[in-house]
Amino acid sequence: MRRSNGIVVVTGILALTTLTQCFTERKNEGQRLYEANCQSCHMEDGSGLRNLIPPVAGADYLQEHREELPCLIRHGIEGPMVVNGQEYNRAMPGLETMNTDDVTNLLNYIQTNFGNNNERYTLPEVGKLLEACPPHRQ
């Protein structure tokens, strides 16, 4: 009996160690993705670029267009948009090769940083929203 309890404890410790390492490596994934793909336009602090590129910091657009955001990340956007009462009309390129996990991590980073305190996305939610994206036009 003691031997089987010992095996369970050792197995549990190994599993916990493995899971902790997985989460630790991905802990800052959303921030890394933002820095690599978004920061050059939306700025380090999320403030955007005066009258050209909208902010993500404190942006009402994030809540008002929640269901559209995964498609916006994946396929980009063209045409006018209003953020915090200001109109912007600059094309944003999409990240066509970004997988669902990365889109989810990126969106959750934006939704919970830069003064934003918005609801986080789940992986199934983003997957479903990406499946419903309108076809991308080239």
Instruction: Read off the pLDDT of residues 53-105 as tens digits, 9 standing for 90 and up.
Output: 999 999 999 999 999 999 999 999 999 999 999 999 999 999 999 999 999 99
- CA distances in angstroms from 92 to 3, 71, 79, listed in the order given: 60, 12, 9
Please state, in angstroms and as integers, the Cα–Cα distance from residue 126 to each residue in 104, 122, 130, following that order.
Answer: 6, 6, 6
The hierarchical CATH code for the domain 28-131 is: 1.10.760.10
Do 94 and 73 meet the contact criterion of CB atoms below 8 Å apart?
yes
Q: pTM surpassing 0.85?
A: no
pLDDT at 12: 52
> What are the residue boundaries of the structural domains of the chain, listed by start?
28-131
Distance CA 91, CA 128 (A): 25
Supply angle C-alpha 108, 112, 114, rounded to 5: 120
- Check whether 48 has a pLDDT greater than 70: yes
